[in-house]
Amino acid sequence: MVRFRSLTVRFGVLYFVVLLGLGVICVTFLLNLGYVRSNTRQVIAEVRKQAVLTGLRSRNLTLEYIIQADGVTDLAQARRAEGLLQTSLVELEGLGIGEAEISREGRSEPEGQALTELAATLRDLNKWFQDGDEASDGAVAQELLAAANVALAGLRDETQLEVDGAIVDLDKRTEAMRMVMFATVLGAAAFLAFALHYMHRRIIRPLNSLRYSAERFGMGELSYRIRMDSTDEIGNFATTLNQMADRLQDAHEDLESRVRERTSEFLRAARMAHLGVLASGIAHEINTPLASIRSCAEGMHRRMKLGEYSEELFADYTETICREVERSRGITGRMLALAREEPTTSTVNSLDMVLEQVSSALSHRASRKRVRLVQELPEEEINLRVDGGELVQIIVNLVANAIDASPPDSEVLVRAEVTPEQMILTVQDQGEGIPPDQLEHIFEPFYTTKSPNEGTGLGLALVSKLVESHRGRVSAKSAPGEGSTFRVVLPLDWRRSQ
């Protein structure tokens, strides 16, 4: 069986079949229309011939009446008879020229002979009227008229046969055209059904398959492949899509491999950067207790050299050193927990005790800068369920920055306000203030307004991280020459923020 591998060839064959079918139908119709036209002309001619013969028969009856009434002796009747005969001869001559030529096959010659004999008989009868007188024998005219009537009856019978035959032929041609039209409709319907089935099977279904495959490709299913066994243009397109999917899948796998490699490298770099930030943060936070430990050690050393040693002073110094060492250990633990995002341990702490620890940790720094620490607290005792170490770390960073920014003989104000759900802590200094272009960056890691040897830029970043980890808020307000104010809002119970 011949297989057409191209849609162009297939549609070309379909078009050729359609044109061939239309040509056959048109030729068949034209032939049948020609036959119908010929039969119709024959019927019309035969009907006209019957009309002429009917007129001849009527005139023959008139002639018979004239002959029986001795019309030959009557000049007027004789002229009338001659006129009737002349009319009949003229009409017979017309029939001989036209209608005999379209008579059915096999009947033209006998019909022509009959017309010739009838015309000859009528001429003889006409001559009889022209030569006739009172002695003329009417029997001759009667015989001639009888012969003419016999010939006329034969012609009428022949004409009727011609009409019947032409009608039968016309019916046959009409039925043939009806059958051709019926066959054409059936053939067209069958061809249309075949064409629709073929288009659905060879075009629409493959196109739907391509659309479904394209949707799956679009959803990222690059491993899906189009299954199509056709070798036409649609099949070639499906093969091209499969090849494209192969290349995309290879590229996607290669890209994923590269992304995994780059992600691994990025995570290693991020861990190293995180480790650097953690180390910097620990170093920054431990500087404050180390400064207190150093201050106590220097005080002890100086008094021992001066001989001003006392057990009470020694105990005070050692207690401060132990407390700051313990705070340093707590700082490292909290920093690691913060880096790992571990939940904190909340206990009941007095705000007065927290601020006392802040004052103890920063008293030596404030003394060196000649800065006074002023506290404004509510009269009633405030108990908080918080991580005391983290809260001390937050306040120490804010107050330490305020001390560093304050000029000598100024003060740093620490104000606390309590609402039913929150604690609002404000730290205000009397320093030079922070320019507006720097104020929006102060909570970013490693950003500092201090000299390179004085700050790391991690204190406020750690404050922001700690406050936000408990769903709190920290903000700063400052203007050049007016000092700075830091405002921290924290929940009273940190258990609700875990």
Q: For 224-237, what is the HEC assignment? A: CCCCCCCCCHHHHH
| pLDDT score recorded for residue 338 | 54
The pLDDT value given to residue 99 = 46
* Residue pLDDT tens, the chain, 498 long: 445 566 677 777 777 888 888 888 888 778 877 877 877 887 787 788 878 888 888 888 888 777 777 655 567 777 887 788 888 888 777 765 444 444 554 455 667 777 787 788 888 877 877 776 554 566 777 888 888 888 888 778 877 887 788 788 878 878 887 888 888 888 888 888 888 887 788 778 888 887 888 888 778 777 878 777 777 777 777 788 788 888 888 887 888 888 888 777 765 655 544 555 556 556 656 666 777 777 778 777 777 777 776 777 777 778 778 877 776 776 666 566 555 555 566 788 888 888 888 888 788 788 888 899 899 888 888 888 877 778 888 888 899 888 988 999 899 999 999 888 888 999 999 888 888 888 888 888 776 766 655 556 677 888 888 888 778 889 999 888 888 999 999 888 776 555
Which tens digits make up the pLDDT trace of 256-273? 888 888 777 765 655 544
Q: Which residues pair with 486 in a beta bridge?
A: 427, 476
Q: What is the predicted pLDDT for the residue at 42?
A: 75
pLDDT at 426: 93
Q: For the chain, what is the radius of gyration of the CA atoms?
A: 65
Q: How many Å apart are CA 45 and CA 100, to the nearest integer?
A: 9
The token pair at 224 is 């899906």
Q: What is the per-residue pLDDT for 170?
A: 79
- Integer Cα distance of 259 and 405 in angstroms: 47
Q: How many beta carbons lie within 10 A of that of residue 462, not counting itself?
A: 25
What single DSSP character describes residue 2? -
Dihedral angle, C-alpha 384, 387, 389, 390, nearest 10 °: -100
Residue 148 and residue 121 in contact, taking contact as beta carbons nearer than 8 Å = yes
Q: Which whole-number Å values give the CA distances from 486 to 205, 349, 388, in the listed order?
A: 72, 22, 20
Q: How far apart are CA 362 and CA 395, in angstroms?
A: 11
For 28, the 3-state DSSP assignment is helix
Q: What's the pLDDT at 486?
A: 93
Cα distances (Å, whole numbers) of residue 257 to 156, 251, 254, 262, 432: 107, 10, 5, 9, 54
Bridging pattern class, strands 371-376 and 410-418: parallel
Tokens of 248: 């995309």
